[in-house]
A and B are shown apart, each in its own frame.
Chain A
Amino acid sequence: MDQTEETDAVNRDELIMQQQRQIEKEISDTIPLVSEEQPVDSLNNEYMGDDVYGSKVRDLAAKYRAIRRTRPDGNCFFRAFAYSYLEYLAGHKEDYDAFKELALKSKDKLVALGFPQFTLEDFHDTFMEVIEHVSPGENDKQELHKLFNAQGYSDYVVVYLRLITSGQVQEGADFYQNFIDGNCTIQEFRHQEVEPMYKESDHIHIIALCSALNVGVRVEYMDRGEGGQVKAHDFPEGTDPKVYLLYRPGHYDILYPN
């Protein structure tokens, strides 16, 4: 490769990044970070005349009263989880107090695991501020919705949950190593798949976050598979779920059970 080709390669890199930003901007201009509640059968609009999905949407609508959509930006699992759990906590004083305590302590634990104190504090403070805003009693549902649609707050919450998840993977390295494909080390996995924004979540992220925060999550899987019904999976298995999510390949939304 001579020098002119190399300069071209540099520009191509730049162009790819620019185009990525452009696509992200288009998505962010048209889709809110978290939508209002919508009827479950609004999903049908996306699957006109598709029998497989049609019957699964009917099945889902029989179990859930509403869906709340999240922006497909790779952070959807973390954002959906946080919104849904905080919404639950706003109505459950005891769980709220326990979670606040756990959240308060989480910072020192992450510092001990080697995260940079300076940025950690930044995200932790914002995280605590958001928790403070949804304390039961105040119970202003609009407040949570407003915070989660303010990019700054919303993304800071996502970052902090990513750090908690990464810390959990580090702590349980022996266990999580079994779920990591190929030659990726735990460190590489944390730095490449968990900590960076916009990286999509997999089972391992869900399991780690649920165990770190001690929260049960039920995910309803909806894909092109046979059977005509959505498939529920609880994380960790056998727990009583507080958060309900819909998974369609590549994306998570929030569900509200009947």
Chain B
Amino acid sequence: MANMAVSRIKREFKEVIKSEEIVQCSIKIELVNDSWTELRGEIAGPPDTPYEGGKFLLEIKVPETYPFNPPKVRFITKIWHPNISSVTGAICLDILKDNWAAAMTLRTVLLSLQALLAAAEPDDPQDAVVASQYKHNYSLFLMTARHWTNAYAGGPSRFADCDQKIQRLKDMGIDEHKARAVLSMENWDLEKATESLFS
């Protein structure tokens, strides 16, 4: 059984590296070890989204029962998105759970994740805090997502206001990521962020 998973992955690997998307640098896939059970994926943030210009790394684990069960996929690069945990990188996407079909491939998965970045589903959230911001304060969500893309994925947009507030918390001895996470959760209200950190 395990052999079936490995031979299928080997062929998929070839498929992905020959694909058009590779040529356009929009998806990428790499081996992590020689066992073919763990891979590293990369997707480019889609144009006209707050993730544009960013590169997002993915951890891909292939179960022994592949392709009958889905691969386990998680974002390694931190990202601000309603369907992806800003803490663990866990993803809420139907094809990675109940709606996986054996005819799908790693390429399908990477392209579906790219599509997820372009079209969030805030009503079926993985990260309730992000989803709530998306629904109730969309412009703030856009800024936060762009800011995270800049900070973690190499995106182009810098926000002086965000950087300043993070610096203020850093000056109080808070770790940079912790500062960014708390400010993002508190809709960039420095006072509330400080309160939540020190109470």
Contact = CB atoms under 8 A, between A and B. Distances in A.
Interface of A: 1-3, 6-7, 10, 13, 17, 21, 115-116, 118-120, 122-123, 151-152, 155, 159, 162-163, 191-192, 195-197
Secondary structure at chain A's binding surface: helix, strand, loop or mixed?
helix
A118 B105 contact: yes
A162 B181 CA distance: 44
Nearest to A7: B87
B11 A7 contact: no
13 contacts: A1-B129, A6-B87, A10-B85, A13-B90, A17-B97, A118-B11, A118-B15, A122-B8, A151-B1, A152-B1, A195-B103, A196-B99, A197-B69
A9 B105 CA distance: 27
Contacts of B100: 196-197
Given A10-B90, A119-B104, A197-B102, 15 more contacts: A1-B129, A3-B181, A6-B128, A7-B85, A7-B88, A13-B90, A116-B108, A122-B11, A151-B1, A152-B1, A155-B68, A159-B68, A191-B99, A196-B100, A197-B69
A159 B99 contact: no
A21 B64 CA distance: 12
**How many residues of B sit at the interface, in one of the four size bands?**
20 to 34
B128 A197 contact: no
A35 to B, nearest CB: 20
Contact of A163 (B85, B88, B99, B103): B103
Interface of B: 1, 4, 8, 11-12, 15, 67-69, 85-88, 90, 94, 97-105, 108, 126-129, 181, 185
A3 B185 contact: yes
Residue in B67, B85, B97, B101 whose Cβ sees the most chain A Cβ within 10 Å? B101
Pairs A-B, 10 closest by C-beta atoms: A195-B101, A1-B128, A159-B102, A119-B103, A10-B90, A196-B101, A152-B4, A197-B68, A118-B15, A192-B99
Nearest to B100: A196
Contacts of B8: 122
